């Protein structure tokens, strides 16, 4: 990139993704989607802590996208989602490698609760910072989140730091508010990540009585073994978050991703 572009919003994010494309991490299809959508500024909002400020020989990026649509509140599940997010933070905090974990929370409608920061500094979800009352732009924001994961991963790779990632998308309904992306745009990004065998992309579809979440997430490229489909009760949602937490802890403690680590959720 030319020097004249380095100060533009999103320039750093675009540079990192260009590097990923040059190194073969990003496919032509994925890069085409990101170029067309021009998400640099949105991605950069999630990049957070500088690599030089992370004193770890390797890192694990845990990225969360809680649904903040109005249907979460109408179904009475806001507290369950808050508690589930906080449960994940607590579980990760028990890892021997907790100091190597960076976390990022971008709500389904694009608001960043916190960019990538050390686990110990993560903000817990509360009634004050989580009031689900918006829409369901699932595809639009999944593209943003996955591109952020890829950009941050590339930043560490460019600095010689091994990185693995675990991402969880959460929705209680099908996409009805995306304006730029479709499942077809999401799929190449997921497939690029899975091909690298250093990323896990998981999804939770909270039952709304009508959405076939396994079909929705499969169309997005997410493997069925990484899909959770809890019912709409608080206990079922909490159990699903516990399953993800157990897998995230297992992944974070592994020296590297193996066939068993990549094999899907464990109860």
Distance, CA of 54 to CA of 255 (rounded, Å): 18
Task: Provide the residue range defining the domain that includes 158.
Answer: 3-263
pLDDT at position 260 is: 63
Phi, psi angles (nearest 5°) of residue 63: -120, 130
Let me know: does 98 contact 129? Beta carbons within 8 Å: no
Name, in order, each residue with C-beta under 8 angstroms of 79's C-beta and a sequence gap of 6 or more: 234
pLDDT in tens, the chain (267 residues): 333 345 577 899 999 999 999 999 999 999 999 988 889 999 999 999 999 999 999 999 999 999 999 999 999 999 999 999 999 999 999 999 999 999 999 999 999 999 999 999 999 999 999 999 999 999 999 999 999 999 999 999 999 999 999 999 999 999 999 999 999 999 999 999 999 999 999 999 999 999 999 999 999 999 999 999 999 999 999 999 999 999 999 988 887 777 666 778 865
CA angle 250, 252, 254 (to 5 degrees): 70
pLDDT at position 256 is: 72
Distance, CA of 157 to CA of 142 (rounded, Å): 22
Let me know: does 36 contact 28? Beta carbons within 8 Å: no
Distance, CA of 5 to CA of 37 (rounded, Å): 18
Helix locations, the chain, DSSP H:
11-22, 28-37, 40-47, 70-74, 78-92, 138-158, 183-196, 213-219, 234-253
Distance, CA of 241 to CA of 237 (rounded, Å): 6
CATH of the domain at 172: 3.40.50.410
Q: Which strands sit side by side in the sheet containing 112-118, from one edge to the other? A: 112-118, 101-106, 59-65, 163-171, 199-205, 227-228
pLDDT at position 36 is: 86
pLDDT at position 4 is: 38
**How many structural domains is the chain composed of?**
1
């Amino acid at each position: 990139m030319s020097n004249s572009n380095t100060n533009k919003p999103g320039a750093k994010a675009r540079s990192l993704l260009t590097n990923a494309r040059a190194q073969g991490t990003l496919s032509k299809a994925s890069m085409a989607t990101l170029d067309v959508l021009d998400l640099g500024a949105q991605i950069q909002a999630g990049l957070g802590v500088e690599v030089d400020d992370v004193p770890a020989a390797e890192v694990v990026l845990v990225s969360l996208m809680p649904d903040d649509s109005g249907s979460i509140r109408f179904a009475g599940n806001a507290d369950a989602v808050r508690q589930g997010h906080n449960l994940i933070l607590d579980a990760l905090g028990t890892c021997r490698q907790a100091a190597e974990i960076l976390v990022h929370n971008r709500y389904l409608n694009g608001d960043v609760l916190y960019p990538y920061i050390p686990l110990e500094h993560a903000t817990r979800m509360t009634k004050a910072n989580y009031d689900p009352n918006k829409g369901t732009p699932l595809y639009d924001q999944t593209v943003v989140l996955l591109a952020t994961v890829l950009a941050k991963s590339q930043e560490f790779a460019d600095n010689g730091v091994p990185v693995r990632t675990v991402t969880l998308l959460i929705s209680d309904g099908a996409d009805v508010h995306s304006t730029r992306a479709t499942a077809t745009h999401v799929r190449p990004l997921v497939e690029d990540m899975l091909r690298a065998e250093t990323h896990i992309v998981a999804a939770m579809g909270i039952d709304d009585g009508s959405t076939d979440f396994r079909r929705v997430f499969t169309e997005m490229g997410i493997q069925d073994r990484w899909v959770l489909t809890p019912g709409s009760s608080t206990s079922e949602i909490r159990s699903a978050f516990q399953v993800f937490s157990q897998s995230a802890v297992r992944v974070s403690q592994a020296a590297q991703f193996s066939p068993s680590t990549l094999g899907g959720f464990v109860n």
